[in-house]
Structure 1
Amino acid sequence: MVGLFIILILVLVLPFSVKKVEHNLEAFLFIMGIAAATVSGMMNMHLIEKALVDPIQITLAVLIAGLITKWAQVPLEKAILATSKALTPRIFLGLMVIILGLASSIITAIIAAIILVIIVNVLPLERQSEIRFTILACFSIGLGAALSPIGEPLSTIVVSKMSEDFGYLFSLIGPEVVPSVIILGIISVFFVKTTESPNTLGAKNPSESYKDIIIRAAKIYLFVMGLTFLGHGFEPLIEAYILGLAPGLLYWINMLSAVLDNATLAAAEVSPAMDDETIRAILLGLLIAGGMLIPGNIPNIIAAGKLNITSKEWAVFGLPVGLILMAIFFVILFIF
């Protein structure tokens, strides 16, 4: 347990304090994941096979999206710019946060994140606004994708464990998630600024080489592989210190989802013996915390990697937004 606590502290601290770690986050999390799985005694052939297989879907999605973006870059840019001009850029961005969040439950969080990246690369955003819009959209996608069992792994696992139907999650957390996605869209209208005039097509997002596309997909593969090892490696710690806690306390402890795979945490915490209120608290804690830092969710990983957003840049805006949302939902769930 001491070893796992040390690894957890390193994962939380080093990406923000050591530049080499920050610029090589994929390799760092991969090493930490192997260390956690080894120290906890969870490393075996089954886990290795799972770690090799789990990243394939997202890696292929990122690779294919990269190729499509390269081949259809100009038509995509023209369509996005034309729509944003017709609606005004701020209204367009706010609507995109809402639409991507709600649509992610059907098109999956991966595809929604890839569309987000394309939008950010086309629109004339200042760097700070680009980061803010990306983070707000990723919060929205992470929340919205959990409304159906096909949106993301966490929702698939929960519906399977509870033996419920397709609409279970929407009825359980929809009343909290849908308004949150809409509010995130409204916030983006005020927190995101566009430059005076649109970019020249291709100026902000020059066509990538095939080598760049392949390297990025490989980094995503390594990243997800590391998160798989990390999530399973921390299972003994979760079982020893987290399971069985009061829902209100569990809600805050689930901020670990900012650095650990929320699907793994959901698999460990959710039980058919729990009532709906407890499951709702667990899920909302995991989903909100997942937007705080880059490793917390697949959309964060895709967007940050493609847009070169560092761990520090993400945390400066992502942590305050996440903490405010956590506090608001805590009041709604446990006080009112």
Structure 2
Amino acid sequence: MFGLLIILVLVLFLPFTVKAIEHNLEYFLFVMGILAAIIGGVLDVELFMHALEDPIKITLAVFIAGVLFKWFQTQLGNAINTISHKMPFPLFIALVVIGLGLLSSIITAIIAALVLVLIISNLSLQRRHEVLLTVISCFSIGLGAALTPIGEPLSTIVVSKMNEDFFYLIDLVGPFIIPGVILLGIFAAFAVKRREGAGLQSTGESESYKEIFVRAVKIYLFVFGLTMLGAGFEPLINAYLLDLSPRILYWVNIISAVLDNATLAAAEISPAMSQSTIEAILMGLLISGGMLIPGNIPNIISAGKLNITSKEWARVGLPFGMVIMVVYFVILLISGL
């Protein structure tokens, strides 16, 4: 148990404090996951094969979607320019936020973030509206991607740990997430304004096949490591988390704002937990993951490509995320949390 606690501390804090680990998180978690499984006494052939198989679907989805995005990036950019100038701008913004949020569960959160960057690069927005649209859209993508196991690593890990089918998360948190994504789109439609006299923008540089391949490999290693990590942490979960109130776990998971939410999901969720506890954990992780740049993969990709600073993101993401956290907490209480 002491060894697992040490690994947990390393996993939670080293990526946030050591730049080299932050930039190579997938490799770090791959190693930590194997160590956790060994120390937890759960590493066997069955777990190893399980860890080899779990990442296949999301890895293929990321790779195929990445290649398709590369092939059709120019056409997509032209379509964005045309559509954004022919339909009412608020309607266009609402469709972007809602569409990317829901589609991210199929095209993956990574590709949804790349499409978001392409869209914003093709719009002429004032800086504050550009940041606002990016943050709101990443909240939407982070929520929507959790609806299927191919959307993002968090959902892959949860479905695997619970040993459930493809539609498990849609049934479990879909009633919370889908209305939330729609409301985010409606809010963005009123809040984001286009700069007057906006013209066409460039579609940006295309990724190389090497970058697409390397990203897919990193996702595979990431999910492999998280599968091992989750299995290795079972003794810790059983000892310390199963008896905690879901209401406490919901707010504890606000640390997902600074730590990758898939890592926390791997460390926290257990099949022994009740449905309401899993709902509380997931919603806490998914919402707070949008509050700061390190909390979610779409945030990292979008902020990096659009040169959004941590301060710019926090200025919007922290108050916006706290409001959403409070609203969802009330909804969860009403639903029987």
Shorter-normalised TM range: 0.7 to 0.9
**Per-residue CA distance 1:226-252 (angstroms, 9 max, x = gap):** 222222222211111011322322333
Answering whether residue 289 of structure 2 is matched by residue 301 of structure 1, we say: no
- Conserved in 2, the CA contact under 8 Å of 1:157 and 1:263? no
What is the deviation of 1:289? Answer: 4.3
Give per-residue Cα distances to partners, 1:84-121, cap 9 Å, x unaligned: 223466653332222233455xxx35446524422312
Contact 1:113 1:303 in 2 (8 A): no
Match of 2:202 in 1: 201
Alignment of 1:88-99 (within 5 A): 91-99=91-99
Pairing 1:1-336 to 2, within 5 Å after superposition: 1-87=1-87, 91-104=91-104, 108-111=105-108, 113-124=110-121, 133-145=133-145, 152-153=155-156, 173=173, 176-189=176-189, 197=198, 200-202=201-203, 205-255=204-254, 258-260=261-263, 262=265, 265-271=268-274, 280-291=279-290, 300-301=296-297, 304-305=300-301, 308=304, 313=310, 316=314, 321-334=320-333
Distance (Å, rounded) in 1 between the aligned partners of 2:191 and 2:156: 30
CA deviation vs aligned residue, 1:21-63 (integer Å, no higher than 9, x gap) = 2222222222222232222222222222222221111121121
Aligned counterparts of 1:46 and 1:295: Cα–Cα separation in 2: 33
Gaps of 5+ in 2: none
Residues 1:201 and 1:335: Cα distance change in structure 2 (over 3 Å):
closer
- The separation in 2 between residues aligned to 1:266 and 1:282, in whole angstroms, is 8
Residues in 2 aligned to 1:182 and 1:208: alpha-carbon distance in whole angstroms: 30
> What code does the residue aligned with 1:119 have?
L
Letter in 2 for 1:17: T
1:250 partner amino acid: L
Amino acid in structure 2 at the alignment position of 1:227: L
Relative distance call for 1:323 and 1:268 in structure 2 (3 A) is: farther
Matched-pair contact (CA < 8 Å) for 2:148–2:156: no
Give CA-to-partner distance per residue, 1:241-295, whole Å, 9 cap, x none.
0113223223334557625263774443544xx6xx5564354334434545778
1:177-222 deviation digits (Å, cap 9, x = unpaired): 34422332244457767777456434xx322222222122222222
Aligned letter for 1:97?
Answer: V
Q: Structure 2 vs 1, CA of residues 179 and 36 (structure 1 numbering), >3 Å: closer, same or farther? A: same
Contact 2:37–2:229 (CA<8 Å) still a contact in 1? Answer: yes
Q: CA deviation at 1:158?
A: 9.7
TM-score (normalizing by structure 1)? 0.74
Structure 1: distance between partners of 2:301 and 2:184: 22
Whole-angstrom distance in 2 between the partners of 1:71 and 1:168: 31
* Maintained 8 Å contact 2:55/2:156: no
Residues 142 and 291, structure 1, Cα contact 8 Å, conserved in 2: yes
What one-letter code is carried by the residue in structure 1 that aligns with 2:297? I
Change (3 A) 1:221 1:128: farther
What TM-score results when the alignment is normalised by the length of structure 2?
Answer: 0.74
Letter in 2 for 1:201: S
1-side partners of 2:283 and 2:206: how far apart? Answer: 39
Measure the CA separation in 1 of the matches of 2:3 and 2:293.
23
SS in 1 for 2:271: helix
Which residues of structure 1 form unaligned runs of 5+?
A: none
Q: CA 1:131–1:285 in 2, change beyond 3 Å: closer, same or farther?
A: same
The structure-2 alpha-carbon separation of the partners of 1:102 and 1:81, relative to structure 1 and needing over 3 Å to count, comes to same
Instruction: Give me the whole-angstrom Cα distance separating, in 1, the residues matched to 2:211 and 2:100.
Output: 26
Instruction: Provide the C-alpha distance between the structure 1 equivalents of 2:149 and 2:56, rounded to a whole number of angstroms.
Output: 19
Cα RMSD of the aligned pairs, angstroms, is: 4.1
Number of aligned positions between the proteins: 321
Kept in 1, the 8 Å contact 2:106–2:145? The answer is yes
Q: Deviation digits for residues 107-145 of structure 1, max 9, x if unmatched?
A: x35446524422312432688866664553343234345
Report the Cα distance in structure 2 between the residues aligned to 1:308 and 1:129, rounded to whole angstroms: 17
Q: Given that residues 101 and 145 in structure 2 are in contact (C-alpha distance below 8 angstroms), is that contact kept between their aligned partners in structure 1?
A: yes
